[in-house]
Amino acid sequence: DIVMTQSPDSLAVSLGERATINCKSSQSVLYNSNNKNYLAWYQQKPGQPPKLLIYWASTRESGVPDRFSGSGSGTDFTLTISSLQAEDVATYYCQQYYNTPYTFGQGTKLEIK
C-alpha cells in the first residue's frame, strides 16, 4: 500500500498570510504513460463531508478560489493557500488514486493565528 504522510499535523497562520501543507507518498504516484500525478487534495470542515480542491496534483476543481494551488511531482507535493481567509479554517487531506487501496494522508488542521 502507498503510505501518505502529511506535514505538519497542525498549522496556525495569520489572516492574509500564506499557508503551506506538505504531502509525501511512500512511492511515486506519477504515471509515466500520461505524465500525470495521481494526487488530490480535499478540504473538510467540521460536520461536513470532504470537498475536492485539487486533482492531478495541480488542477483546481471548478469553483475553488484561485488562492488554492497545488504543486509537486513523484512523491512530494504541496498545497498552498496564498492568502488565508477565515473560511479556510478546516482540515486538509491529500489522497493518492494511483492504485488501490486509495490512501489518504492523516490530515493537517489549519487554524487562524
Partner 1 sequence: EVQLVESGGGLVKPGGSLRLSCEASGFTFSTYTMNWVRQAPGKGLEWVSVISSGSTYIHYADSVKGRFTISRDNAKNSLYLQMNSLRAEDTAVYYCARDRSGDDIPDYWGQGTLVTVSS
Window contacting partner 1 (CB under 8 A); options: 20-28, 69-77, 81-89, 105-113 = 105-113
Contact status: 92 vs partner 1 (CB under 8 A): no
* Cα(13)–Cα(31) distance, integer angstroms: 34
Contact status: 89 vs partner 1 (CB under 8 A): no
Contact status: 64 vs partner 1 (CB under 8 A): no
Q: Which is nearer to partner 1, 75 or 95 (CB)?
A: 95
Query: Would you state the cell numbers that stand for residue 42, as one nine-digit string?
Result: 480535499
DSSP 26: S
Cis peptide before 8 (omega within 30 of 0): yes
